[in-house]
Amino acid sequence: MELYIVRHGQTDWNLHSKIQGKADISLNSKGIKQAKETKEKLKNIQIDLIICSRLKRAKETALIINKDRNIPIIYDEQISERDFGEFEGMNAEDFDYEGFWSYKQNMQFKYAENIKDFFNRIYSKLDKIKEEYSSKKVLLVCHGGVSIPVDCYSNGIPNQDSLLNLALDNCEIRTYHI
């Protein structure tokens, strides 16, 4: 199956390097522009279904991409961003952000979602998508953090400490054959 993945457009928290996991932040004007540009990039690609995070920034991006196309959208909590718990709203330099994204270290936190639990959540959803929509072209509209396990699902977990370099930029598109 063909799986397209798009990270939501920019938010003010992205602009100010604030960590936004479950925080329900809307797109800013640049994010809206990015989503419109992504819509144009995808306009000639056949998409059968959009599966979208329930968070506003992803929903807004999906609705812009889907304008005039009427592709069915399923909103799914399982592909929402990783729960950053006690780090929500902080700047990445205020804690060990690299370590937070280390599969090898598998750090445990008081409230934040453990990386292996997060990967299991995303892998489980990808297994279901593969099973239910094997003959479809599916677009996931989600988050930078979610793009990391999606990449690892398709390409394997690289032998490196931090996986941050695998994350999509705002409104970046990747294609996988899974």
Domain extents in the chain: 2-177
Terminal Cα distance for the chain, rounded = 5
* Coil, strand or helix at 149: helix
* Coil, strand or helix at 42: helix
What integer pLDDT is reported at residue 18 of this predicted model?
94
Region of 31 on the Ramachandran plot (φ > 0 left; ψ -120 to 50 alpha; else beta) = alpha
In tens, the pLDDT along 26-80 reads 999 999 999 999 999 999 999 999 999 999 999 999 999 999 999 999 999 999 9
User: Residue 76 contacts by C-beta under 8 Å, 6 or more apart in sequence?
Assistant: 51, 52, 53, 54, 125
Task: Give strand pairing partners of 74.
Answer: 51
Separation CA 114–CA 84 (nearest Å): 9
Stated as kind and residue range, the H or E segment containing 73 is: strand 73-75
- In total, the chain counts a number of residues equal to 178
Quick one: average pLDDT of 122-149? 97
Query: Do residues 8 and 38 touch, judged by C-beta distance below 8 A?
Result: no
pTM above the 0.85 mark?
A: yes
Query: Do residues 152 and 119 touch, judged by C-beta distance below 8 A?
Result: yes
At position 10, the amino acid (one-letter code) is Q
State in words which class domain 2-177 has.
alpha beta
User: Residue 117 contacts by C-beta under 8 Å, 6 or more apart in sequence?
Assistant: none
In tens, the pLDDT along 97-126 reads 999 999 999 999 999 999 999 999 999 999
Q: Give the pLDDT band of residue 3 (cuts 50, 70, 90).
A: very high
Average pLDDT, the chain: 97
User: Residue 97 contacts by C-beta under 8 Å, 6 or more apart in sequence?
Assistant: 19, 164
Q: Give the pLDDT band of residue 153 (cuts 50, 70, 90).
A: very high
- Residues marked active site are found at 8, 81
What integer pLDDT is reported at residue 36 of this predicted model?
98
The phi and psi torsions of 106 (rounded to 5 degrees) equal: 45, 50
Separation CA 123–CA 103 (nearest Å): 14
Q: What angle do CA 42, 165, 161 make, to 5 degrees?
A: 150
